[in-house]
Amino acid sequence: MTVFIHSYGKLMTTARKHQVSISDTPYYHVMSRCVRRSYLCGTDIHTGQCYEHRREWIAERIRLLSTIFAIDICSYAIMSNHYHIVIKIDAQAPQSWSFDEIIQRWLCLYKGPFLVQKYQKGETLDTAEQRVLEDTVEDWRTRLGSLSEFMQQLNQVIARQANLEERCTGRFWEGRFKSQALLTEEALLTAMAYVDLNPIRAKMAESPETSEHTSVQERINPRFELEQALAHNPDINPHHFSRFPVKKLAVFEGNIRSDIQHGVLFDIKDYLTLVDTTGRIQRKDKRGYIAKKSLPILQRLGIDADDWVGNTQKFEAIFYKKFHYRRRDKNVA
């Protein structure tokens, strides 16, 4: 369970299945933080040990897992002791994947039970075995579209690698990941910008293009070394993974609505301009406001330009209270 602190100060818990409801929204902001003084990345000021290379671990694994799962990455930022991701759950994708494709995707991460190995060798299955295999694959179909399964594959492996590197055992993450539903266009846009601007607020970078290991830098200067990523993730089977093209970050589809929204409902030029301008304002040595005429995306969404700056600085405090909800819906991931 995840603990939320409401405005009146009372601690409340919300079961994971009530936090993720695809029928309400496919977009979620997720965050994981290291426990105590553990460092995910950067340099531990207490020991002087540098863990900067772990940023690449996270960025690479996010992309690899996104390719395997029905999860699109809208934005991400990897900080010194935590990371943020804004994701889109593509609920329709697993339904379009064939029986064999589901198996291939699952075998990227797991060896697979005896029946699956027998099926892949072309050996004949009796009726009972065939029924068990079909039930197993349908379970995998569901799990390949699950945010919880995606995050488990991300956090458990990173924790194991970090503990091995530090020659220690025990908990690495501060409980389970936090998930926040993004129910409106404003919430999605603010979350994405908030995440991309994290390094600038933390004085780790002065501009979006120099913000290392963020989605905004990757959109400006795309780069992904597959061989290196697979070398850093030996648990992923390269034979099975090679069957799937590496998924790019979620695309910006502009502002034309359709029955099925495959990407992010904004224009990429508008978004990059918005993040760049907001980032300059958030630096303490800069003062000013966002010129509405230069950022039409705010006008289209009816967002006040002056309020925008405050929202992107205090996103979690504002939107966790504004958009947090609890549902008892069976259509969950």
CA 311 from chain center: how many Å?
A: 21
Cα distances from 159 to residues 143, 220, 266, in angstroms, run: 21, 30, 35
pLDDT score of 12? 41
**Type of residue at 212:** E
Domain limits for position 54: 19-97+144-323
50-105 pLDDT per residue, tens: 888 888 999 999 999 999 999 999 999 999 889 999 999 998 999 999 999 999 99
Residues 6 or more apart whose Cβ sits within 8 Å of residue 157: 61, 233, 235
| C-alpha dihedral (145, 150, 151, 157), degrees to nearest 10 | 170
185 or 134: which leads in pLDDT = 134
321 or 70: which leads in pLDDT = 70
Could you give the CA distance from residue 329 to residue 182 in angstroms, rounded to a whole number? 17
Q: Is residue 102 part of a domain?
A: no
Residues 6 or more apart whose Cβ sits within 8 Å of residue 64: 229, 230, 233, 236, 241, 246
pLDDT score of 41? 75
The least confident of 131-135, 202-206, 219-223 is 202-206
127 or 265: which leads in pLDDT = 127
Q: Is residue 221 part of a domain?
A: yes
The least confident of 177-181, 242-246, 300-304 is 300-304
Q: Is residue 133 part of a domain?
A: no
Q: Is residue 259 part of a domain?
A: yes
Could you give the CA distance from residue 256 to residue 243 in angstroms, rounded to a whole number? 32
Q: What's the first-to-final CA gap in the chain, in angstroms?
A: 14
Please name which of 68, 30, 21, 317 lies closest in space to residue 173, comparing C-alpha atoms: 30
Q: Is residue 6 part of a domain?
A: no
Q: Is residue 119 part of a domain?
A: no
Bridge-partner residues for 231, per DSSP? none
CB-count exposure of residue 36 (10 Å: 0-12, 13-18, 19+) = exposed
293 token code pair: 């005429």
100 membership: H or E segment, kind and range: helix 99-107
Residues 6 or more apart whose Cβ sits within 8 Å of residue 61: 154, 157, 158, 229, 232, 233
**C-alpha triplet 27, 193, 260: angle, nearest 5°:** 35
Q: Is residue 72 part of a domain?
A: yes
Lateral strand order in the sheet of 27-33: 71-78, 82-89, 27-33, 178-181
The least confident of 84-88, 144-148, 189-193 is 189-193
**325: pLDDT strictly greater than 50:** no
For the stretch 289-323, what's the b/e string if a residue is b when 16 or more beta carbons lie within 10 angstroms of its beta carbon? ebeeeebebbeebebebeebbebbeebeebbbeeb
Q: Is residue 131 part of a domain?
A: no
CATH assignment of the domain containing 259: 3.30.70.1290
**The total number of structural domains that make up the chain:** 1
